[in-house]
Amino acid sequence: MSWISTLTPLHWALFSLIPIGIILLYFLKLRREPVEVPSTFLWKKTIEDLHVNSLLQRLRRSILLFLQLLIVALAALAMLRPGLRGETSSQGRLVFLIDTSASMQTTDVDDDANRFERAKRLVSERIEAMSDSETAMLVSFSDRAEVLQSFTSDRNRLRDALSRAEVTNRPTDVLGALKAADGLANPRRTSQAGDVNDVQVADALPADLLLYSDGGFQTVTEFDLGNLAPTYIPIGTDNVTNLAITAFSAERNVEKPEQVQIFATVVNLGTEQASATATLTLDDELLDASSVDLPVGEQAGLSFSIESEEAISLKLALDINDDLAVDNVAYAALTPMRNVSVLVITPGNSPLEIALSTSKAGKICQSEFVPPEYMATESYEQRAESGNDDLIIYDRCSPETMPRTNTFFIGALPSNQVANTDGTTSEAWKWGSEMSSVALIDMDRTHPLMRYLELFSLLIFQGRSVEGPAGSTELLGADIGPMLTIAPRDGYQDLVLGFELISSDADGATQTNTNWYAERSWPVFILNVLRYLAGAAEVSGAPSYTPGDTVRLRVESAISNVDVQRLGDKPTSIPVGPSGVTEIVETDSPGNYRVKSDERIVDMFSINLFNRSESTITAAESIELGYESVEGKVGGVEKRREYWRWLLVGALAILATEWWVFGRRVG
């Protein structure tokens, strides 16, 4: 028999006054007024009342007093919560790990809404079965771990922590939760082993590791359990039905931008054949549908074609009531065009003006041309410091201080300094050769800036090779060295071209230095610069992220804040950084998200599960933790048998008896 007190010592002291008060009531002498009666019928009863209410008189036998004290005694025993439980192996310290990943929403369990609710119930039962000498901590985990309650013997705190645990749409990574438990059970040393000054920071504290999960995570091999004794409680069954959408995207036809191609992949990750209808909707309006019938382990590709020139939000849903609903729906979108601001500082460059004024560039770019003397004005200093421009192009000129934005240098070098180990400074960028003729020999076709380009037929009369700082990337190579190089700079990027487009002769007359401006690749290259360096993009497929990911977007730098709205929810205002970068962290719910400035859509993205591991919902019979295999323990932990409810029932029965006796006595 074990006891779990529900009252504090102060409360017990107050409770002990109740039986004392009951006894004192039987000694209390009541004031009674004389009453004249026409007979002696009440004399005997009156004499008995006077005897009972006389102070310091010997207490006479009273069945009512006995019953009342018995009721109080039973209530006290009930508040001590007597109970019995079977002998369980425990080291006195328990670590509860409860899985809150997307697969725990599976509804293949009886008597509970889903696997997560089953896990919560089992954890709650083990908390109630704890002895007074046991302490426990509670950790929830999905793709990240959260310590809901550190070690405590207070069951109320553990109950409150368990009530705060919520299932998520995120994938599973148990390693973070294991590390949280390991930090308490296996304290590390202060230095390397073998060091004479090595000190153990704390005694190792063995603990029972109770893992409540369906086992849908990768094998954890490079982890030493140490003093943790693992117990795996599998949640779920091995007979499930689940069709999952593992891919869904929308792209415009390059030749005909008004045509939208939509692709999706559906996989049967259950244990029996399943069929469904895949329904495609545009802003909740039905567009198309396709049937899917898949054997176990097979997948099917779906394709749709629609026409739209606007930014759109698409949804694909499987019409099936299987065991996991979160992967039956997928989202995709086409982003709107983003207009960027470009400042061009040049003594005059007609090929650049023409390239920035084409119909495609004009849709995504607002350019302003100024002479090099503009860099000496206060207006330029404010623009460069605030980063209001998405891109600054320096043609044959360089600023004294680099601006807080991305840059493109044509025939010039950035003017930034780097510190050397000897305390001196040197130029981060420098020319690698003297001015000479140039023949292109190599190109990085994988980089977005060099997409769709053919440059080996260019004529370049004069140029110099470019040597960039550490971390720079050569995009275009020539016989004299790198000719186009890009390098990072404090969160920004600098692109340097080693030859001029327009040059001046000895007399100051303008002359062309290359035929690139006459090639079809020139406006294509400028579009690549606008899209990659300035952040502009035509209407295209919106990116898709996993639930819980931090979404980093770059919008127009002139925007101070944006409203982020998941379709169907209320918008949330988020500030925008000085360079137009904003981070969105509230991404737990799948759906299409729109980023607006006032009423204008500036960007879009989607949140989808798209995780085969989470959609493979068959509960694992065993898991690999550290270097050992842990078999699932079916049946969980033995429940504690408590008797306080029966004690309360007995107290109520005795209270009813006391009322009956009192009624008969008065009658």
Domain boundaries along the sequence of the chain: 9-85+644-666, 93-188+202-238+619-639, 243-333+609-615, 340-532, 544-602
Closest C-alpha among 554, 557, 531 to residue 389:
557
Mean pLDDT, the chain, whole residue set? 83
CB–CB of 568/283 below 8 Å? no
C-alpha span between 361 and 351 (Å, rounded): 14
Compute CA distances 29 → 60, 129, 141, 154, 445, whole Å.
14, 49, 66, 46, 106
Which class in CATH covers the domain with range 93-188+202-238+619-639?
alpha beta
Q: Tell me, what's the pLDDT at 580?
A: 76
CATH architecture of the domain with range 340-532: 3-Layer(aba) Sandwich (3.40)
How confident is the model at residue 200, as a pLDDT? 44
CA 416 to CA 646: how far, in whole Å? 82
- Per the CB < 8 A criterion, the answer to whether 161 and 151 are in contact is no
Q: Could you tell me the CA-to-CA distances from 3 to 10, 101, 135, 153 in Å, in that order?
A: 18, 36, 16, 14
Supply the Cα-derived Rg of the chain in whole angstroms.
39
Quickly tell me which residue has 């039962």 as its tokens: 125
DSSP letter string, 52-98: HTSTTPPPPP-HHHHHHHHHHHHHHHHHT--EE-------SEEEEEE
pLDDT at residue number 381: 92
**61/370 Cα distance (integer angstroms):** 111
pLDDT tens digits, 348-398: 999 999 999 988 888 788 899 999 999 999 999 998 988 888 899 999 999
Q: What does the pLDDT look like over 80-103, one tens digit per residue?
A: 667 665 545 566 889 999 999 999
pTM higher than 0.85: no
Same fold, 93-188+202-238+619-639 and 340-532: yes
Token look-up 């891109």 returns: 391
Instruction: Give residue 90's pLDDT.
Output: 62
- Residue 523 DSSP code: H
- Amino acid 539: pLDDT: 60
Answer whether CATH 3.40.50.2300 is correct for domain 243-333+609-615. Answer: no
* pLDDT single digits (tens) 255-278: 666 788 999 999 999 999 999 999
Residues (pLDDT < 50) of the chain are: 52, 54-56, 87, 189-193, 196, 198-202, 636-637
